[in-house]
Amino acid sequence: MIWNFADFKTAETYTRVGGNKKGVFTRDRQPKSSAHHVRRRYLALAEELDNFSPPQDAYPYISYQSYRDKRKNEL
């Protein structure tokens, strides 16, 4: 479950070490690895439920072919 969209932009003090890291994006709105997993999951759901064909550039970190092979193995 996603707790928050992005990490909180609170003061970085010694009392907050290890805290405020609940978002899928960093404090500077850069995607964390969980953001990429959420994106892949929503695209997979769209493909499965709506017959949506994701564009080739939708997966910059993995090849589209390896994604398709992985999805076939999961089903």
Tokens of 63: 């090849």
Angle formed at CA 57 by CA 74 and CA 75, multiple of 5 degrees:
10
How many Å apart are CA 62 and CA 56, to the nearest integer?
A: 11
Residue pointed to by tokens 């089903």: 75
* Global confidence as pTM: 0.60
Q: For the chain, which residues make up each domain, given as ranges?
A: 33-75
Q: pLDDT tens digits, the chain, 75 residues: what are they? A: 777 888 887 777 777 666 667 788 888 888 888 888 888 888 889 989 998 887 777 766 555 555 566 666 665
Q: 53-62 in b/e burial notation, b at 16+ Cβ within 10 A?
A: ebeeeebeee
Tokens of 3: 């707790």
